[in-house]
């Protein structure tokens, strides 16, 4: 069982709603239109995408999603897959091992989904013991033909990690699946850093980049209600019950946690797990490291905007400013623009002085 299967139906509701509304629109209005999820580091993309793939409690809010099935592929699984002597897929003899590993993982995930759906209709088909390129194509073909009333979304989480190694063969794999099963299979991509997204667009790596950048969803920070749900999720409760039983109730701390974290998950985890007196918080190496990871994931223009903001320099409208506002890093409060967290503001001030 995946921990996300236990999460409450309102988990990260604003971001889940944003993604699922876009999926519904893409499927019913613009078939064969991929979706790329982008956000700064620490926004919980993986948890949210796994929640969408494995937790069905939210589906009552989306009746049109009853025909859609998700197949989640974590690219970290691909990168650690042991590859031995496979010849490749269908396009090139010198096939990159990362792509062969992706094929193996994809086959495994397709077979799992096929078995899951067959069990729902009381059928138990035989599953091949071996794996090959032909068996992969056959498995996808069986999945699509056996369930013609279903539409499938392959979720490629942290897809940019694959493109750090090579582009052409992975692009061909995705293009092949997209073209052969157009109208039945579509893709959702999670881009781990906004910086990579910007660089990929600027360098124009060809058709795959155009494909990845057709439609995007930008994730935002959690609000106070979602903070409470996050604190109350089963994973945190399990951790609290056995390791943090001497701390005050999380619910009584949630408002203060939200004020300090601004809804940013890594800050929130630190505040939940490491602070006994939450009203006394200063910069320390752990918080500095969290803040630096957030900064590093932003584009150079976004970083410049933040440091100008701290210095009191006027910031002109741009895509990067809009991105910072959409993610909630810069937000409106009582007719003023402010930074989402006093911790983050303090870190930027320290960085700006150094």
For residue range 51-110, list pLDDT tens digits in order: 999 998 888 777 778 888 999 998 888 776 644 444 444 334 345 666 777 888 899 899
Q: What is the pLDDT of residue 61?
A: 78
Residues 96 and 171: their CA atoms lie apart, in Å, by: 12
Q: With a cut of 90, say whether residue 277 has pLDDT above it.
A: no
Q: In what helix (H) or strand (E) does residue 74 lie, and over which residues does it extend?
A: strand 68-74
Q: Mean pLDDT over residues 112-123, rounded?
A: 88
**Domains contained in the chain, CATH given:** 3-218 (3.40.50.300), 224-353 (no CATH)
For every residue of 140-189, DSSP letters joined together read HHHHHHH-TT-EEEEEEETTHHHHTT-SHHHHHHHHHHHHHTTTTEEEEE
């Amino acid at each position: 069982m995946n921990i996300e299967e236990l999460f409450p139906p309102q988990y990260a509701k604003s971001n889940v709603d944003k993604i699922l509304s876009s999926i519904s629109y893409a499927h019913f209005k613009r078939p064969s239109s991929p979706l790329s999820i982008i956000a700064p580091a620490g926004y919980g993309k993986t948890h949210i995408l796994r929640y969408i793939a494995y937790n069905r409690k939210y589906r009552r809010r989306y009746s049109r999603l009853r025909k859609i099935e998700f197949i989640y592929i974590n690219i970290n699984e691909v990168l650690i897959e042991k590859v031995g002597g496979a010849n490749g897929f269908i396009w090139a003899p010198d096939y990159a091992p990362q792509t062969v590993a992706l094929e193996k993982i994809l086959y495994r995930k397709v077979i799992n989904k096929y078995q899951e759906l067959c069990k729902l209709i009381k059928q138990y088909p035989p599953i091949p013991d071996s794996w090959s390129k032909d068996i992969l194509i056959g498995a996808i073909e069986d999945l699509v033909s056996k369930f013609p009333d279903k539409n499938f979304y392959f979720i490629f989480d942290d897809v940019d990690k694959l493109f750090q190694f090579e582009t052409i063969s992975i692009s061909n794999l995705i293009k092949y699946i997209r073209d052969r099963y157009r109208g039945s299979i579509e893709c959702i991509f999670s881009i781990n850093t906004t910086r990579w997204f910007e660089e990929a667009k600027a360098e124009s790596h060809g058709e795959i980049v155009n494909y990845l950048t057709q439609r995007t969803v930008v994730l935002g920070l959690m609000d106070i209600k979602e903070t409470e749900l996050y604190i109350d999720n089963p994973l945190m409760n399990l951790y609290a019950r056995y390791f943090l039983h001497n701390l005050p109730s999380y619910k009584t701390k949630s408002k203060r946690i939200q004020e300090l974290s601004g809804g940013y998950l890594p800050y929130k985890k630190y505040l939940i797990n490491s602070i006994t007196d939450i009203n006394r918080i200063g910069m320390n190496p752990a918080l500095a490291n969290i803040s630096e990871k957030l900064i590093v994931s932003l584009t150079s223009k976004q970083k410049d905007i933040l440091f100008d903001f701290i210095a009191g320099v006027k910031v002109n409208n741009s895509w990067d400013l809009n991105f910072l506002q959409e993610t909630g890093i810069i937000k409106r409060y009582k007719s003023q623009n402010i930074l989402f967290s006093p911790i983050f503001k303090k870190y930027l001030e320290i960085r700006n002085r150094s």
